[in-house]
Amino acid sequence: MESIILFIMVITLLFMGVPIAVALGLSSVLTIALFSSDSMSSVALQLFSASQNYTLLAIPFFVLASTFMSTGGVARRIIRLAVASVGHFRGGLAMASVLACMMFAALSGSSPATVVAIGTIAIAAMRQVGYSKEFSAGIIANAGTLGILIPPSIVMVVYATATNVSVGRMFLAGILPGLVAGLMLMIAIYVVARRRNLPSEPWRGFGEVVSAGKDAGWGLFLIFIIIGGIYGGAFTPTEAASVAAVYSVFVALFVYRDMGPLKGLAWIPEGSAAKTVVGFKASVYALAIFAVWMISSFFFLGGMDTTTRMQIGIALAVFVLGAYPYARQQPNPLTFLSGLPVWGYNLGLIARRFVPALFHGDTNKAMVDSAKTTVMLMFIIVNALLFAHTLTAERIPQTITEWMLGAGFNWFTFLIAVNILLLIGGQFMEPSGLLLIVAPVVFPIAMELGIDPIHLGIIMVVNMEIGMVTPPIGLNLFVTSGITGMSLAQVVKAALPFVVVLLIFLIIVTYVPALSTMVPYALMGPEIILNR
């Protein structure tokens, strides 16, 4: 009886327009106070313990990293790389938009951030070459959902918190499904492009791919730091999030210089001699090779001693110092010394502007935006965890488990029920809140039926993806409407054909567990649940 009253209160409050966090928290408190044998002191204890959750600490850091990486410069560089890679296919600019969303998703962990950062540039570019506004908007709205599937993903952190599974395994599990989902969207675009005779971009050669890759390299290296660092055992997912935040701030302010007091200042001053430019670039590439080797060998070749790694890294760097100038018709092996004045100029500039950059208006705005997003998410999560505690205290998950097993549900029919529940719920609720409500209920049942917890997590995340592009609450629909000026009804109609692709992808993910478990099993082994 108490469980029925609890759910009736939540649904009633939601239909009254009460914010989801308040609806969950208020319903839980009233249920405990009026109907439950549980003590009211458990409310304070649960709120305190939820706020002290170490795993949840990753969320504000990933939000901060996403905010700084969402600058126009990072998105523009990623789009350039995507266009250089696949733009020459029929419908290539649309396919490049999907690829750019996939790459940016690996930096932001947020679906709306991906839509804003990539969509603002890509939709305008597609319109200029003849794509309809509806087609362009539909692509971005759906491709942006990859922001919560491709790691790092804030929604995966939330699922891991709700079920006590490994965040690292969840991140690894999202890699292959994310690639498959992006590929399916690009195939669908190619089919439509052939039928509608959509334009393709000229092939600019592998030189443009390499050049664009170098330009976007600082941003994309964040993917390597997060995934490599977690897999290599260098740091936990929460520590990886903090490293990502610091790295993102440094890259945005001092490397790409898309914001802050150094905005618009080039690394190489105008009028520099050709020898100076070549020498500076040679030293940059040498340092980059050395850093990539040292980090990657630490992550993936842990058995190699430090001295050997240093020797190999120095040898690679010295080779680049000599080979690059030679390839640029500067055969002097000491050409790199000509770039030292450029290093001195930039390091001095960074040293003088370092403190002002941290207090610049652009930095303050990014910090405030991050704080607002973090407070909103954490308020929802803490109240949802209180709701989950109330469910557990009333033994609701156990009751549902016994009923479903008694009714003859097997893993196949159970996953159908889970998908239907999440697809309906995703139309009305924010992903993190819905996940924290549903996961504690379905997780014990899934364990009894032998469903892998990581596989279940990916299924739930994909359902959350689809919820982002289905009315009436689909957040990506509102964001896309805002950046295109289209009505919500127009965006819904534009997104619908590609939602069908995501639904087909959901069926594949649901009934091909290896797609989700192959990578985490290979690198970290299976998830072991001790409290089944």
Q: Alpha-carbon distance 488 to 477, whole Å?
A: 7
| 64 has a pLDDT exceeding 70 | yes
So what's the pLDDT on residue 399? 75
Alpha carbon distance, N-terminus to C-terminus of the chain: 26
pLDDT in tens, 446-486: 988 889 999 999 999 999 999 989 887 788 888 898 888 88
| 525 has a pLDDT exceeding 70 | yes
Run of H or E including 269: none
Cβ-based neighbours of 447, under 8 Å, separated by 6 or more: 453, 529, 532
The average pLDDT across 243-249 equals 91
The average pLDDT across 431-435 equals 83
The average pLDDT across 10-24 equals 82
Q: Alpha-carbon distance 286 to 373, whole Å?
A: 39
Most confident of 306-310, 330-334, 516-520: 516-520
Phi, psi (deg, nearest 5) at residue 164: 60, 40
pLDDT in tens, 492-511: 999 999 999 999 999 999 99
Run of H or E including 334: none
| 37 has a pLDDT exceeding 80 | no
Q: Are 116 and 479 in contact (CB under 8 A)?
A: yes
| 18 has a pLDDT exceeding 90 | no
Cβ atoms within 10 Å, residue 504: 12
Task: Name which of 62, 57, 157, 55 is nearest 105 in CA terms.
Answer: 62
pLDDT bin (cut points 50, 70, 90) of residue 162 is: confident
More confident residue, 70 or 287: 287
The average pLDDT across 102-107 equals 88
Q: Alpha-carbon distance 401 to 242, whole Å?
A: 38
Question: Percentage of the chain surpassing pLDDT 90?
Answer: 30
So what's the pLDDT on residue 432? 82
Q: Is 40 helix (H, G, I), strand (E, B) or coil?
A: coil
Q: What is the pTM of this model?
A: 0.86
| 278 has a pLDDT exceeding 60 | yes
Specify the amino acid at residue 112. Answer: P
Cβ atoms within 10 Å, residue 306: 10
pLDDT in tens, 65-100: 888 887 757 888 898 999 999 988 988 999 999 999
Q: Is 272 helix (H, G, I), strand (E, B) or coil?
A: coil
Most confident of 96-105, 195-204, 384-393: 96-105
Written as one string, the DSSP assignment of 61-96 is HHHHHHHHHTSHHHHHHHHHHHHHHHTTSTTHHHHH
Q: Tokens 């340092």 appear where?
A: 287
Q: Are 98 and 143 in contact (CB under 8 A)?
A: yes
Find the DSSP H helices in 394-530.
Answer: 396-406, 411-426, 431-448, 453-467, 475-484, 488-511, 514-524
So what's the pLDDT on residue 1? 64
So what's the pLDDT on residue 532? 47
Q: Are 38 and 2 in contact (CB under 8 A)?
A: no
So what's the pLDDT on residue 138? 93
Q: Count of alpha carbons within 13 Å of 511, Cβ hemisphere only?
A: 9
The average pLDDT across 406-419 equals 86
Range with the lowest mean pLDDT among 1-5, 131-135, 256-260? 1-5
Q: Tokens 């299924």 appear where?
A: 459
So what's the pLDDT on residue 107? 84
Cβ atoms within 10 Å, residue 481: 18
| 200 has a pLDDT exceeding 90 | no
Range with the lowest mean pLDDT among 29-33, 78-82, 166-170, 182-186? 29-33
Cβ-based neighbours of 6, under 8 Å, separated by 6 or more: 27, 28, 31, 390, 391, 394, 396
So what's the pLDDT on residue 191? 93
Question: Percentage of the chain surpassing pLDDT 70?
Answer: 97
| 328 has a pLDDT exceeding 80 | yes
What average pLDDT is seen over the chain?
86
pLDDT bin (cut points 50, 70, 90) of residue 513 is: very high
Extract the tokens encoding 4.
């029925």
Q: Alpha-carbon distance 532 to 527, whole Å?
A: 12
| 319 has a pLDDT exceeding 60 | yes
Q: Alpha-carbon distance 307 to 304, whole Å?
A: 8
